[in-house]
Structure 1
Amino acid sequence: MRKFILIVFLLCQFFSFGQKPKFDLVQWVNPMIGTHKMGHTYPGATAPFGMVQLSPDTDTIPYAVNGKYNKDVYKYCAGYQYDDPTIVGFSHTHFSGTGHSDLGDFLLMPTTGKLQLNPGTETQPEKGYRSKFLHANEKAEPAYYSVLLDDHNIKAELTATNRVGMHQYTFPKSDEAHIILDLMHGIYNYEDKNVWTFFRVENDTLVTGFRQTNGWARTRTVYFAMSFSKPIESYGNKDYGKAQVYRGFWRKFDQSKNFPEMAGEQLRAYFNFKTEEGEKIKVKFALSPVSTEGALANMRTEIPHWDFDRVKQESQAQWNQELSKVRAVLPTKDDYINFYTALYHTFLGPTTYMDVTGQYRGLDQNNHQANGFTNYTTFSLWDTYRALHPWFNVVQPKRNADMINSMLAHYDQSVHHMLPVWSHHANENWCMIGYHSVSVIADAIMKGTYTGDANRALDACVATARQGYYDGLQYYMQLGYVPEDKNSSSVSKTLEYAYDDWCIAQVAKKLNRQDVYQEFSQRAQNWKNVYDKSIGYMRPKMSDGTFKKEFDVLSTHNQGFIEGNAWNYSLYVPQDPAALIQSMGGNKKFVPHLDSLFTMHLPDEFFADTEDITREGIIGNYVHGNEPAHHAAYLYNWTNQPWKTQERVRMILKKQYQSTPDGLGGNDDCGQMSAWYLFSSLGFYPVAPGSEQYALGSPAVKEATINLENGKTFTVEAKNQSDKNVFVQKVELNSKPLTQPFLNHSDLAKGGKLTFYMSSKPRK
């Protein structure tokens, strides 16, 4: 009888889906999702918005081979690919879900036996320090990762606080145990990426140093402090760089063994130990953007002890606190995994970029003090302005306000007087198009979540939008569009500039800045200048005022668009869908055009220039793996067929998100793909950030309660929820029917309940 009761209890614990989850929410997160194919996520240990991302790297792919771009490097934007059979080591900085990369700083690898300082290869790992591994012996959780390194019989465990990674290596008995520090390793390794590296053995357990790189970020310096739980027996290094022939008087010393400091372009160091069977050697590895002193202070503040399990538990408690911002009731186990992994992914970045003292490296390469805010970095704004930062305005408004303060600090330090475009680690990468810091700032001001000086923020937005030397803006301001013969991707730039200008106009109106409002309201209409009524598509225009003659609406190559084609971008007027629909001939013509986006078949030549990258996230001609059409499914709400939004959204959720390593239909793009999933699962989406309006869709949750920072709660309930009941019969806000498929942020912020009544048949 007792056995029967126990079985029933366990079944209730594991299979009571449709009820609020009983376990810690951490247990629903699977960091392996997105690590296969093109999701470009990493499985390692990190704290919420943490400065350290301690994760395994599975290969070392050069950016170029014989001077030519190596297409295989694209797979390793996060350093890890699920189908790789070997691990090179564990580095401390990673991007999550990007389509380009950098970082991979300070790789550690424990080994036994004969010392080998080269990484070896995937096919011959025994010729280097890398090791084979099996996924059966691998485990990934928020703030925890472990794996058995088969070639060395070492169990590696990782955890992390905000600024400190902690390693725990369980060794076999050995007189030849080593921990290798590879200062050459990096993700997207250019031949000349390392500018200089330095390390200093302070005593028999402490090592400090720094690394300067010239990669995607032109000039980046990261400092470290590394502490061992056991005294080092001996140590040494090897310099693989050209600088070793110019050492001069340093040749008076044997620098390769037990020499306490070393500098060079290409260094690898090793630290030797003797271990007993099952002995654990722990390593604390702290980072700083400012100094080794700062790194040491970060270590002593965040992990002043050697209790690995305590660090793991405390960091996972932080994750539970963040994940508890949304308590969802979902139909299946896979739904729980997808939902809370998406929530986890949205809280990986932007990342903290300052010491515990508040000091950080600024864009001007000087050290600054963050007064009254946390300084953040890793702003992939072309991606994240769409849904991630609007998501933060719902669940992380204080952090989002600090992110805006970080953007304004970037502006103050910029010689160009511009807000960030794509920035990380005190560098501006100038990646992608638009000036979408403007959208992030406007959305927070319009929704009342930014409590700083709104007029100062508006001034920074205006100055950014008036920089004539930036990416075709001089033509845009003169002609009302970017001409394709003067600047490539001209249509995409014109459309995105016009949207950002609309954002500026909304803030100016709110702040009663009428001159700015008039100027940017007019600029926001510039999308009309690249719309060709004769064919019904956006089309590149030349500097003489004529449309480009050689034009293919499906091609992505040299047609005036970026990460999309005319079919996708002709739907990009998020600030005024009603005007777009009218321009395209009203409901009668627009709805079939939008239908075809999801149903058409793309010819093989569409993929000719993509190296199969975009095949991952495509439904018809709708590319969910890229961002320009992320709002497209919601545009039916501005037509007479809003029920099609409900059908399309649920279809995308089902097809593009799975609870498997290859479960993301494209790069997660610093949380943008995951934020789309979360909004859409809750039944609403921010089509035009900068407005307080959300477009309604079809919720995939049974019920979800958002715990707002103002102490109120907002609950979404879907009655008659099922896989087939994707259509909405009616919606009530606090028991009052909504007459339009829209929700205002101000109503959400007040707290309350949004109730969807679901059915298998559309309400036409």
Structure 2
Amino acid sequence: MKNILSAVALLLVTVSSYSQKITKKNYEYINPMIGTQRMGHTFPGATVPFGSVQLSPETDTIAYELDKKYNGEVYKYCAGYQYDDTTIVGFSHTHFSGTGHSDLGDFLIMPTTGALQINPGTAANPKSGYRSAYSHINEVAQANYYKVKLDDHNIIAELTTSQRVGFHQYTFPKSSDAHIILDLMSGIYNHNEKNVYTFIRVENDTLITGYRQTQGWARTRTVYFAMALSKPFKEYGVKKYDEGNIYNGFWRKFDQTKNFPEAAGRNLRMYFNFDTQDNEKIKIKFALSPVSTAGALANMKAEIAHWDFEKAKTDGQQLWEGELKKIKIETLTENDKTNFYTALYHTFINPTVYMDADGSYKGLDQNIHKAEGFTNYTTFSLWDTYRALHPLFNIVQPKRNRDMVSSMLAHYSQSVHKALPVWSHYANENWCMIGYHSVSVIADAVIKGNVDFDTNLALQACINSSNLRYYDGIEYYLQYGYVPEDKNGSSVSKTLEYAYDDWCIAQMAKKLGRDDVYAEYTKRAQNYKNVWDAKTGFMRPKISDGTFKKEFDALDTHGQGFIEGNAWNYSLYVPQDPEALVELNGGKEKFTRHLDSLFTMTLPDKYFEKTEDITRDGIIGNYVHGNEPSHHVAYLYNFTGKPYKTQQRVRMIIDAMYKPAPDGLGGNDDTGQMSAWYIFTSLGFYPIAPGSDHYALGSPKVKSAILTLENGNTFTITAKNQSDKNVYVSKAELNGKVLDRLYLTHSEIMDGGTLVFYMTNKPVK
């Protein structure tokens, strides 16, 4: 009997464990902490898919001293949070995910207890201000949920969101000195110079409205808000800071610092005081709008009309589940599944919805527009995302990608330059990085048949953007067929990227029957050859007299004609013509050895800006995975007759650059591009040249994957004999037939079917 009972008990445990395993939701594999340490620049806070609100903690360790300008490490805090910091300043409502530039961080809220302090204080002495020490032991980050204990105030902070509303829940101790600080000065950029104007209006004892105008990376950005409290405050006040002085009255008619219903000025902080019982919860709903405070209020009513924090959290997590189930995977380990679904999560954060619930938004022309028939998006980091993020959307988010193209065309129509976005957010064009890569996104959608927009308008917009003569060396590119280094910097990178974009325009024109445009831009797409130096075997900067610049170091990134890379990296950037690139490099065998050297060489310290390890993040040999121009490079072996080397390299990169830890990204995630590379590569294929309908085959990391497509079809990927050692592909079958080529087509995926990889531990030469 005892043995029988033991067996039954064991069976119940086994059944229970199996039940738990099969019932775990995909969103439960998301770890928002991945990428929050070092160079990943992700944020750990709450957001919903493509949400307008990203509610997350700020840990910026720089003191907000009133008598000094902010001179902090802006780059380090692009997302506002660094895992190694030990204090939290507060929780703000807007963040970039994984960028290499900073902005946003709007409307910081911080709950406190004890004597009222309006200054944030310093990380070294958090009790000198309202910031607080915290511990990762008391920190939880999940899909659409963040929780932390603020040790210095003994407060539990919890955050969740809807599309346009941040929902805070703060659990206080018993106190007659409980406070909520609303800091309109705080932001992720140059704090003391960023604010242009702020306005606050206390509508009643539970509702506050206002707006904030900033001049940071975006020169003209205005965000409106409506803030609702679950409990009336007992009193409130405002402090205005200006060049080291605290003013007690603004109009010299009233004492505005206490219980006065409105305030306006450049640098404002507001406080609300409460009496609290032990474990009492004060909740805040904070809605945003690009248009008006009335729009913010309407958004709040439309999205979270209740005060049920758990419901808002669960609703958002179900939104994530709905998006993540587009790809169902089986993996070798739970860590692989965490990596995959966190990567998918990061790809579905940006671009962000930019309009009120009724479709209203502020346009590039600073006028109010209404999105008719599409959802308007912002946060376009196109130098990064044209490579893999938007191609991924064309498979698993086609409707959203069409709307993103429509958003780009709206930007174009509102642009005084009649140009498509380069790097845009919040009704601003930042003109960051190089190329006119909106054309890649648009061409990729057109070539793959993912259109519901005016394709003729789209083609004209692409043509106009490619001929914007006064922008970033284009006038010289049109004159010389290359950008001369003595006329415009980063000349080689620009020449190569312009040539690729021109090829994209040619492909779109061909698809649309514009043979004249096709012929012109096919010729322009060959301009990459104008900066090829056969003598050195590298792309090399030319000057305007047609000669190559004499000073040249192929390993150096400074003053050599390149941006975010060197001659080794960019000499491999001809995604539109890889066969010709192989021939330029002396044929398949010689080019294979060249690629091998890229991955195996050792860079001397002098080629790093600093010798700290952080500058080496994302680097394998001289292959720089942390910078996007290299993302297609491992797949170039497919064009040398050595696909087994592609298979070995991509699996090596996955294992080296992605792990389920705070430092688990080998470089900026760049609004999802790093993560999109991981998704594609884990599935076994990659779009080396968006604008083509081909995907280069690699080596899948998953055991299996089922893509549930919006058109109702499913595409299944299976890797037989998958293991960490079996990184090579002995053969591949598509729909039961041996695939005798090294690529898939877009239609083969979208039509549904089955792709089977047969894995082995021996290279198939």
Distance in 2, matches of 1:589 and 1:473, equals 33
1:12 to 18, 40, 45: 18
Deviation at 1:689, TM superposition (A): 0.1
- Percent identity over the alignment? 69
Unaligned runs of 5+ in 2: none
Please tell me whether the aligned partners of residues 34 and 662 of structure 1 are also in contact (alpha carbons under 8 angstroms): yes
Deviation at 1:229, TM superposition (A): 0.4
TM normalised by structure 1 equals: 0.97
Deviation at 1:642, TM superposition (A): 1.1
Distance in 2, matches of 1:248 and 1:255, equals 5
SS of 1:430's equivalent in the other structure is: coil
Distance in 1, matches of 2:72 and 2:300, equals 38
Distance in 2, matches of 1:241 and 1:3, equals 70
Please tell me whether the aligned partners of residues 290 and 356 of structure 2 are also in contact (alpha carbons under 8 angstroms): yes
Matches within 5 A, 1:398-547: 398-547=399-548
Deviation at 1:522, TM superposition (A): 0.5
Distance in 2, matches of 1:610 and 1:548, equals 28
Q: 1:5 to 1:246 in 2, by over 3 A?
A: closer
Deviation at 1:67, TM superposition (A): 10
CA offsets 1:521-567 (integer angstroms, 9 cap, x no match): 00000000000011111000000000010000000000000000000
Determine the structure 1 residue equivalent to 2:759.
758
Please tell me whether the aligned partners of residues 241 and 267 of structure 1 are also in contact (alpha carbons under 8 angstroms): no
| One-letter amino acid matched to 1:488 | G
Determine the structure 1 residue equivalent to 2:194.
193
CA offsets 1:391-439 (integer angstroms, 9 cap, x no match): 0001000000000000000000000110000000000001000000000
Please tell me whether the aligned partners of residues 361 and 370 of structure 2 are also in contact (alpha carbons under 8 angstroms): yes
Distance in 2, matches of 1:422 and 1:68, equals 27
Determine the structure 1 residue equivalent to 2:569.
568
Please tell me whether the aligned partners of residues 239 and 247 of structure 2 are also in contact (alpha carbons under 8 angstroms): no
Distance in 2, matches of 1:624 and 1:31, equals 21
Deviation at 1:191, TM superposition (A): 2.9
Q: 1:349 to 1:656 in 2, by over 3 A?
A: same
Distance in 2, matches of 1:195 and 1:249, equals 16
- Check if 1:287 corresponds to 2:293: no
- Check if 1:332 corresponds to 2:338: no
- Check if 1:557 corresponds to 2:569: no
| One-letter amino acid matched to 1:365 | Q
- Check if 1:26 corresponds to 2:27: yes
- Check if 1:318 corresponds to 2:316: no
| One-letter amino acid matched to 1:471 | D
Distance in 2, matches of 1:687 and 1:455, equals 26
Distance in 2, matches of 1:738 and 1:542, equals 46
Matches within 5 A, 1:689-704: 689-704=690-705
Which range moves more in the overlay, 189-198 or 384-393? 189-198
Determine the structure 2 residue equivalent to 1:81.
82
Q: 1:87 to 1:540 in 2, by over 3 A?
A: same
Matches within 5 A, 1:169-208: 169-208=170-209
CA offsets 1:120-177 (integer angstroms, 9 cap, x no match): 1111001100111111111011110001111111100000000000000011111111
Determine the structure 2 residue equivalent to 1:223.
224
| One-letter amino acid matched to 1:390 | P
Distance in 2, matches of 1:67 and 1:755, equals 62
Q: 1:470 to 1:609 in 2, by over 3 A?
A: farther
Determine the structure 2 residue equivalent to 1:213.
214
Distance in 2, matches of 1:660 and 1:13, equals 27
Which range moves more in the overlay, 128-137 or 688-697? 128-137
SS of 1:714's equivalent in the other structure is: strand
Please tell me whether the aligned partners of residues 248 and 256 of structure 2 are also in contact (alpha carbons under 8 angstroms): no
Deviation at 1:251, TM superposition (A): 1.0
SS of 1:725's equivalent in the other structure is: coil
Please tell me whether the aligned partners of residues 234 and 273 of structure 2 are also in contact (alpha carbons under 8 angstroms): yes
Q: 1:552 to 1:68 in 2, by over 3 A?
A: farther
Aligned-CA RMSD value: 1.8
Determine the structure 1 residue equivalent to 2:387.
386
Distance in 1, matches of 2:84 and 2:64, equals 20
Distance in 1, matches of 2:166 and 2:306, equals 13
Deviation at 1:188, TM superposition (A): 1.7
Determine the structure 2 residue equivalent to 1:720.
721
SS of 2:758's equivalent in the other structure is: strand
SS of 1:401's equivalent in the other structure is: helix
Distance in 2, matches of 1:467 and 1:251, equals 51
CA offsets 1:89-113 (integer angstroms, 9 cap, x no match): 0000000000111000000000011
Deviation at 1:22, TM superposition (A): 3.1
| One-letter amino acid matched to 2:14 | V
Please tell me whether the aligned partners of residues 64 and 190 of structure 1 are also in contact (alpha carbons under 8 angstroms): no
- Check if 1:628 corresponds to 2:632: no
Distance in 2, matches of 1:249 and 1:624, equals 52
Which range moves more in the overlay, 446-455 or 721-730? 446-455
Q: How many residue pairs are counted as aligned between the two chains?
A: 759
Please tell me whether the aligned partners of residues 209 and 225 of structure 1 are also in contact (alpha carbons under 8 angstroms): yes
Distance in 1, matches of 2:624 and 2:410, equals 35
Matches within 5 A, 1:85-164: 85-164=86-165
CA offsets 1:668-687 (integer angstroms, 9 cap, x no match): 00000000000000000000
Distance in 2, matches of 1:437 and 1:481, equals 20
CA offsets 1:625-664 (integer angstroms, 9 cap, x no match): 1100100000011111111000000000000000000000
Please tell me whether the aligned partners of residues 61 and 73 of structure 1 are also in contact (alpha carbons under 8 angstroms): no
| One-letter amino acid matched to 2:707 | I
Q: Which runs of 4+ in 1 moved over 4 A?
A: 62-71, 242-249, 609-613
Matches within 5 A, 1:287-366: 287-366=288-367
SS of 1:739's equivalent in the other structure is: coil
Deviation at 1:244, TM superposition (A): 8.4
- Check if 1:637 corresponds to 2:638: yes
| One-letter amino acid matched to 2:188 | I
Q: 1:63 to 1:761 in 2, by over 3 A?
A: farther
Please tell me whether the aligned partners of residues 62 and 191 of structure 1 are also in contact (alpha carbons under 8 angstroms): no
Unaligned runs of 5+ in 1: none
Determine the structure 2 residue equivalent to 1:596.
597
Deviation at 1:386, TM superposition (A): 0.3
Distance in 2, matches of 1:421 and 1:125, equals 40
SS of 1:608's equivalent in the other structure is: coil
